[in-house]
């Protein structure tokens, strides 16, 4: 665990942003090459993705704006 903490401290804001973009690109890649994943994405109500976004963004948003 100490090694992980040491490595995480070497990352800066740009690295975190690039990790986020890499994950988004990976997800887009998976849903384009896997037809079942694409059909699942199209079949799910769009509002569920918005609700998930809000739930996942609450803690970082709170910590950024209010702490």
What is the predicted pLDDT for the residue at 39? 94
Dihedral pair phi/psi, residue 34, rounded to 5°: -115, 105
Q: Tell the residue number behind the tokens 């804001």, with chain if given.
A: 13
Full residue range of the structural domain in which residue 41 is found = 2-66
Nearest to 28 by CA among 38, 13, 20, 18: 38
d(CA 43, CA 37): 10
pTM for the predicted model, two decimal places: 0.70
How does residue 54 score in pLDDT terms, banded at 50, 70 and 90? very high
**Mean pLDDT value across residues 29-35:** 95
Number of domains in the chain: 1
Mean pLDDT of the chain: 91
What is the predicted pLDDT for the residue at 21? 95
Residue 30 has pLDDT above 90, yes or no: yes
């Amino acid at each position: 665990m100490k090694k992980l903490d040491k490595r995480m401290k070497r990352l800066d804001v740009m690295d975190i942003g690039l990790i986020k973009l890499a994950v988004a690109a990976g997800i887009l890649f998976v849903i384009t090459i896997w037809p079942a994943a694409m059909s699942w994405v199209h079949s799910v109500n769009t509002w569920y993705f918005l609700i998930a976004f809000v739930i996942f963004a609450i803690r970082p948003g709170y910590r950024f704006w209010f702490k």
